[in-house]
Amino acid sequence: MRQLSQKWAQKVTVLVMVALGLGISPAWGAQPADFDQLSPLVQSRWNEDDQLLDLSWEDLIPEGFRADAILDQYDPEKIAQLTDDDPLIVEIMEKLQKAYQSAPVVGKLEGMPVRLGGYIAPLEITPEGVTEFLLVPYFGACIHVPPPPSNQIIYVKTEIPIAESLLEDAIWVSGRLSIDAADTDLALAGYTLYSEHIVPIEY
């Protein structure tokens, strides 16, 4: 009985220390605070093995938001007949650009441990490799074509440089996601991710 009582006493001591924050922290990977505030779809992407959210790019877009909704105001057949220098086309492109740059983020993802697959648009290249980049959903985004909406761009900072040989490869990036925006030379990123792990995606 004494041995049983000692075991219970130890468990109670641990619980008290956790409750008071006395040197014992919860294990990495337990579902984070406010996890239950996420949408059921996003919650379903929780990876028990890696203890993080396996996000899709659609998860970064608030429900019901469309960056190109401005096009609904115009006749698509009429737009198709216009030239690139037509004043109406110029007006539409300016409105689209503003909508893309002000695309809202999903605030409930703040601080969540996540993993997301995408491509690198490099910002900072050192002799050791890439240390800052934009993670984008498709190859060439922000470089060869106009950038996607800001909520489809993530600014990534990594302490482990990425080899330039990976610049054309799809990668998995894991870390803590923040809803802090980052205005870079290439594009406005709606999110920031502090990377802890980056690996190529193997097909």
Q: Is the pLDDT of residue 189 over 80?
A: yes
- Which amino acid would we find at residue 83? T
Q: What is the pLDDT of residue 121?
A: 94
In a shared domain, residues 55 and 22: no
In a shared domain, residues 9 and 55: no
Find which of 2-6, 109-113, 143-147, 198-202 is predicted with most confidence, using mean pLDDT: 109-113
In a shared domain, residues 165 and 111: yes
Question: Residue 23 — pLDDT band, cuts 50, 70, 90?
Answer: very low
Residue 110, in any domain of the structure: yes
Q: Is the pLDDT of residue 58 over 80?
A: yes
Question: Residue 55 — pLDDT band, cuts 50, 70, 90?
Answer: very high
Q: What is the pLDDT of residue 45?
A: 94
Beta strands 182-183 and 171-178: pairing type?
Answer: unpaired
In a shared domain, residues 22 and 47: no
Between residues 128 and 26, the one the model is more confident about: 128
Q: What is the pLDDT of residue 12?
A: 34
As for how many domains the chain has, the answer is 2
Average pLDDT over residues 165-175: 93
Q: What is the CATH number of the domain that holds 56?
A: 2.40.50.870
Residue 164, Cβ neighbours under 10 Å: how many?
Answer: 13
| Domain boundaries, position 24 | 2-29
Q: What is the pLDDT of residue 115?
A: 97
Residue 81, in any domain of the structure: no
- Give 68-113 pLDDT, tens digit per residue: 998 999 998 988 888 888 999 999 999 999 999 999 999 999 999 9
Helix (H) or strand (E) holding 7: helix 2-20
- From the list 127, 126, 176, the residue with the least C-alpha distance to 156 is 176
In a shared domain, residues 117 and 144: yes
In a shared domain, residues 137 and 181: yes
- Number of H helices and number of E strands within the chain? 4, 9
Q: Is the pTM of this model over 0.85?
A: no
Question: Residue 159 — pLDDT band, cuts 50, 70, 90?
Answer: confident
Residue 183, in any domain of the structure: yes
Residue 119, in any domain of the structure: yes
In a shared domain, residues 48 and 18: no
Query: Chain-wide mean pLDDT for the chain?
Result: 84
Residue 17, in any domain of the structure: yes
Question: Residue 166 — pLDDT band, cuts 50, 70, 90?
Answer: confident
In a shared domain, residues 128 and 170: yes
In a shared domain, residues 122 and 156: yes
Helix (H) or strand (E) holding 72: none
Q: Is the pLDDT of residue 14 over 70?
A: no
Residue 34, in any domain of the structure: no
Distance between CA 116 and CA 42 in Å, rounded? 13
Q: What is the pLDDT of residue 56?
A: 96
Residue 72, in any domain of the structure: no
In a shared domain, residues 6 and 55: no
Find which of 2-6, 86-90, 177-181 is predicted with most confidence, using mean pLDDT: 177-181
